[in-house]
């Protein structure tokens, strides 16, 4: 497709490093993206936040995201490469704007795109001519074209003339020391060929590998497919774990044996439930959208039900284990190890620990927790704090349940002094003794 003079100017500004980047939403996705832009591309980046506290922290060089140390952020702030603001009129300074806001589910497991709509409305009045807008928030196919575009297009901004719009799904894995934003391939799909070209050029400035696809809808579905693939396979192994418990077979041994096959098998592991922003949420986005086409994603919905049931299964297994010791869950003191959704991070988004703890409390258990990464959190309006992992705490607990397998926890101390340990993450050595049960 031929380029107009105006979008050639935008292309030139992206290419020569004079473009100013804007990031809307400085959370787990937006802040790492802004840092990657500034570090690798060397362009000025303005972060837009609705939270004055967050904006102030960024401008002081203080990071609140675990994957971005303050020592990495502060020099970029000092050089003027990154700044944060709550003033959305400054969108007018930006040549490229990336929207990185949450897309959760509502109470009916339906997509909640209200944050994305609010962000689009916030930026729309201030978008300059010759601007590229990308959406990184995970969503269902059609969102970029059907919802975002109408909110930002106007008489002055015409798609693929002086307004360019694309979807490029975030692929952030909190705590992953190997795969970061810059070396994880980036899928890009624009609304129109020229939007795809400019978005590809933009992301290529600071990401090693960019993978363009034909449409924004294809890019949107690619992200859902990635996480549905994981959701379905985790559901399979969670179901097998329940069967193995009845058959008195160690599911972890079965997985270890199966993964020795060098082809045709990929290991997935059972757990107390799904956590993080993506895997528990994304399948429902596609299931909801599929109904618009009179199609029911039965396989995906079944996987969702299996995974959602895991906290209940964990509760039942713990009740049974306590019963074998002549104890009831009601009145028992339960120590939870790890409330983050996975090991060695402080991220509690959709953590299965929240559900498990709530279920245990409903049955009358006295629940306390220890997590070296999560000092405190709020549940049902109540602020709860991590307690020290001491011998006295372990001895006083009727049961210890491991919900996140943080590597810094002294599990030898746990097995030595706890009367009952329920390991849902396979972090305890196999020969730890009869006081340890596994998922």
Provide DSSP, 267-316: -----SS--SSSTTTHHHHHHHHHGGGT---HHHHHHHHHHHHHHHHHHH
Q: Is 278 a catalytic residue?
A: yes
Question: Tokens 């060098």 — which residue?
Answer: 262
Helix (H) or strand (E) holding 286: helix 282-290
Token pair listed for 241: 């774990």
Q: How long is the chain? A: 439
Helix (H) or strand (E) holding 96: strand 96-99
Dihedral pair phi/psi, residue 48, rounded to 5°:
-110, 125
DSSP E strand boundaries for 262-415: 333-337, 366-370, 376-379, 382-385, 399-402
96-99 and 82-85 strand pairing: unpaired
Give Cβ neighbours of residue 33 (< 8 Å, ≥ 6 apart).
23, 98, 100, 136, 170, 181
Question: What sign does the CA torsion over 2, 45, 174, 148 have?
Answer: negative
Using an 8 Å Cβ cutoff, are 8 and 33 in contact? no
> What's the rounded Cα separation, in Å, for the pair 10 and 7?
5
432: three-class secondary structure by DSSP: coil
Question: Tokens 């509760």 — which residue?
Answer: 315
Among residues 100, 231, 244, 278, the one annotated as catalytic is 278
Residues known to be catalytic: 278
């Amino acid at each position: 497709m031929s380029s107009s003079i105006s979008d050639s100017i935008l292309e030139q500004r992206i290419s020569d490093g004079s473009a100013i980047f804007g990031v809307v939403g400085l959370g787990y996705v937006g802040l790492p993206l802004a840092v990657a832009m500034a570090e690798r591309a060397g362009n000025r980046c303005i972060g837009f936040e609705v939270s004055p506290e967050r904006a102030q922290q960024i401008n002081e060089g203080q990071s609140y995201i675990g994957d971005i140390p303050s020592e990495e952020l502060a020099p970029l702030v000092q050089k003027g490469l990154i700044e944060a603001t709550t003033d959305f009129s400054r969108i007018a300074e930006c040549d490229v704007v990336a929207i990185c806001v949450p897309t959760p589910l509502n109470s009916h497991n339906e997509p909640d795109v209200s944050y994305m709509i609010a962000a689009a409305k916030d930026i729309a009045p201030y978008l300059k001519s010759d601007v590229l807008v990308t959406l990184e928030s995970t969503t269902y196919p059609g969102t970029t074209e059907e919802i975002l575009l109408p909110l930002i297009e106007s008489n002055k901004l015409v798609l693929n003339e002086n307004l360019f719009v694309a979807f490029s799904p975030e692929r952030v894995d909190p705590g992953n020391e190997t795969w970061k934003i810059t070396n994880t391939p980036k899928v890009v799909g624009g609304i129109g060929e020229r939007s795809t070209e400019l978005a590809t050029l933009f992301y290529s400035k600071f990401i090693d590998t960019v993978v363009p696809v034909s449409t924004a809808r294809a890019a949107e579905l690619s992200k859902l497919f990635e996480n549905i693939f994981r959701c379905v396979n985790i559901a399979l192994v969670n179901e097998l774990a329940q069967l193995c418990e009845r058959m008195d077979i160690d599911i972890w041994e079965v997985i270890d044996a199966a993964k020795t096959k060098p082809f045709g098998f990929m290991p997935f592991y059972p757990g107390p439930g799904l956590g993080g922003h993506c895997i528990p949420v994304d399948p429902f986005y596609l299931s909801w959208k599929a109904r618009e086409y009179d199609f029911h994603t039965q396989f995906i919905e079944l996987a969702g039900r299996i995974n959602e049931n895991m906290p209940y299964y964990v509760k039942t297994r713990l009740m049974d284990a306590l019963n074998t010791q002549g104890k009831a869950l009601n009145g028992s003191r339960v120590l939870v190890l790890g409330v983050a959704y996975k090991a060695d991070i402080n991220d509690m988004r959709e953590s299965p620990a929240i559900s498990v703890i709530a279920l245990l409390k409903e049955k009358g258990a006295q629940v306390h927790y220890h997590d070296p990464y999560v000092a405190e959190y709020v549940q049902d309006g109540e602020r709860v704090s991590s307690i020290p992992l001491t011998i006295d705490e372990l001895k006083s607990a009727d049961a210890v349940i491991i919900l996140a397998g943080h590597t810094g926890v002294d599990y030898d101390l746990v097995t030595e002094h706890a009367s009952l340990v329920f390991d849902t993450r396979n972090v305890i050595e196999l020969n730890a003794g009869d006081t340890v049960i596994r998922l």
